[in-house]
A and B are shown apart, each in its own frame.
Chain A
Amino acid sequence: MSLVNLAHVCSHLQNASKARLGLTSIPLTNLHLRLMLGLQKQGFISSVQLGGPAPPLPEILREPEPELPRHAEEVVKERPWELYATPEPKDSDALLNPRSAEPVAEEAWAEVGSHGSRKASSSSPSTSATSPDVPANAARRRLWLGLKYWNNDPVISKMGLVSKPTKRIWLNSQDIGKIARGFEAGYVKGLTRPGECLFVSTDRGVLEARECAEKKVGGLMLCRVY
């Protein structure tokens, strides 16, 4: 879990956003993957795709049309709030198997309907990378990220580490709650900008600070994004 590489990723995403790139790539590690899925869930990036040194095929990057299951109407009638539920990002399993996107999506709908939330699976990338675009050599694999822009502005304008490689900061859920409310806690400045996000590495995966406060879990402060 190298925070040096994470710092490089933060700087790279800032630079790529300033350069108005549509697609960029970062080295693949489990921490990067979890954090990028968190960023995608918060809407900072549009796509996360496993690939090699060359960019993945464009049709893989396209968002598949949402397919409703057969009993969708009944589900919506019984539990209408699920229409407005934030879509869970694709699991790392689904990401590492880009060819089998549709069945995973259908399964995700069923699981969200029954349990409410899904557990993040932690399979190693070497087991299921079967796509021809993904190199067999794990060190050559990269995560390809789609960057977002709105009103001529990049959606990620700043992204920086909170913990430093030489000084890691762990906080409990009370302190994280204070930070989410905009106050300083544990030498970490509060989230004072509108829409500012702070990502925390916990034993339940990489979570946003507000999720941490809600689930009452603490962890290692990773980076703040706005």
Chain B
Amino acid sequence: MSVSRPARCLFSAATSASKPLPCLHHPRSFHTSTPRRGRRRPHYPSIKAADLEALNARAAEVPTYSESEKALLAKKYTPEQVAAIEAGEAAVDARDLLTQGALRTDPYKLRYIDDLSAIHPWADKQPRKELDSRVDYRVRHKSERELARALVNFTEKTKGLGDQGTEPPRGGADLKEQPGDWEYFRDGAYSALAPELPKFNTPGLRYTRGEDEDPHMVRLMQQTGLTLQEIKRIRVKNLVSHRVVNQTRMGKIQSLYYLTIAGNQNGMLGIGEGKASEPEDGQRQAMMQAIRSMKPVPRYEARTIFGEVEGKVGATELKISARPPGFGIRCQHLIFEMARAAGISDLAARVTRARNPMNTVKAAFEALTSQKLPEDIARARGRKLVDVRKVYYGGKVY
């Protein structure tokens, strides 16, 4: 206990001993999360006037620094630190100190009260390393605008050089052969930047993206960033379709439901649902949602999956497993189509409980996209995982 410890800390330690706080860790709690309270406490405690008066009386007794203590402080601390200590003392209300001030008793309490000179390995934020003075940490790439400006400045400079009749700075052999190149820079009207496209005001002229003017397709292209050709190359297949009926007071309203999958046959797979009174609308909705929801499916050797995965949607549970090369896709037709669309050629699957087609497709999608990769497992466990297939026979295994 140092001499320079503030008097209030001592005082609060002494007073809090009479009224111990409830221990944060119950003696029999076998985990570190805080136990739930039995009963909800009111937001504002009801305080009696007599208690408040007694508290005020005790708060008046809280000692402040005497002149001799201030002199002791001045010996240890600089005037600024003394001012900070006094400001800190003044900032704490004595009544708060009496009601709330207590030393923690749990195992994760701080190991000091007022000595902040030592840095505790786990309780304190560790100091950052000193920056290397030779490195400019603010360095960044030039933006496109700055690059264009720099280029314009450069052309301006070279234009000046040409006017003075001096040789251009990078006078190579080809430049000497073609002196006309530098004429461009001498010409003030010539810019190194690409010329703006001309705009025609002809009423009959229209700018089109292509022959397909379908606004839904344009919107899909904007949403996915794919071109029309790429979207047309995606393998889309409708797997489930049936009629659904909504019973209202006006009568039955029927519409058509579609469940569609989309895949690029190279590791991307998506599923989409659509429902509309018109079949075309529902199919288009499902197809576009499937394309929008395409997610990567991890593939081992671009032919099968990593190990065994399970999926569950509702009462449908299924298990999909990896198989050796040449095994083929031996499973029911829905998962078969999904594997084809994702570009998986060796697979086995088993739907173990309910075989509802909609839920089967959804569970298979969930299973295929939730594979754990060996790299992630290795990082998570901090251990090296080796693919034995790549080790035997010099990796020449197909």
Contact = CB atoms under 8 A, between A and B. Distances in A.
Chain B interface size, under 10 / 10 to 19 / 20 to 34 / 35 or more: 20 to 34
A53 B29 contact: yes
B307 interface: yes
Interface stretch (B2-10, B266-274, B357-365, B380-388): B380-388
Given A44-B381, A86-B383, A55 B376 contact: no
Nearest to A193: B307
Contacts of B380: 43, 148-151, 153, 155
A21 B107 contact: no
A43 B27 CA distance: 30
A149 B382 CA distance: 11
Contacts, number: 75
Contacts of A142: 30
A25 B382 CA distance: 22
Interface in B16-52: 25, 27-33
Contacts of A16: 31
A19 B33 CA distance: 10
B218 to A, nearest CB: 36
The main secondary structure of chain A at its interface with chain B is loop
Interface string B363-398: 000000000111011111111010000000000000
B198 interface: no
A138 interface: no
B31 A54 contact: no
Chain A interface size, under 10 / 10 to 19 / 20 to 34 / 35 or more: 20 to 34
B22 to A, nearest CB: 15
B321 A192 contact: yes
B326 interface: no
Contact of A55 (B25, B121, B308, B373): B25
Given A22-B32, A42-B383, A62-B122, A195 B25 contact: no
Contacts of A78: none
A125 interface: no
A19 to B, nearest CB: 8
A21 B32 contact: yes
A24 B31 contact: yes
A108 interface: no
Nearest to A84: B384
Nearest to B370: A153
Contacts of B31: 16, 21, 23-25
Interface in A191-206: 192-196
B308 A193 contact: yes
A208 to B, nearest CB: 11
A149 B379 CA distance: 10
Given A21-B31, A24-B30, A25-B31, A194 B372 contact: yes
B28 A192 contact: no
A59 B108 CA distance: 10
Interface in A49-104: 53-59, 62, 86
B32 A57 contact: no
Given A194-B306, A194-B385, A58 B27 contact: no
B30 to A, nearest CB: 5
B284 to A, nearest CB: 35
Interface string A17-39: 00101111100000000000000
A186 to B, nearest CB: 19
Interface string B275-306: 00000000000000000000000000000001
Contacts of A22: 32
A150 B379 contact: yes
Interface in B25-81: 25, 27-33
B377 A53 contact: no
Across the A-B interface, give the 6 residue pairs with the lowest CB-CB distance, nearest first. Answer: A43-B381, A150-B380, A195-B377, A192-B308, A193-B307, A194-B307
8 contacts: A22-B32, A24-B31, A53-B28, A58-B108, A58-B122, A142-B30, A195-B372, A195-B374
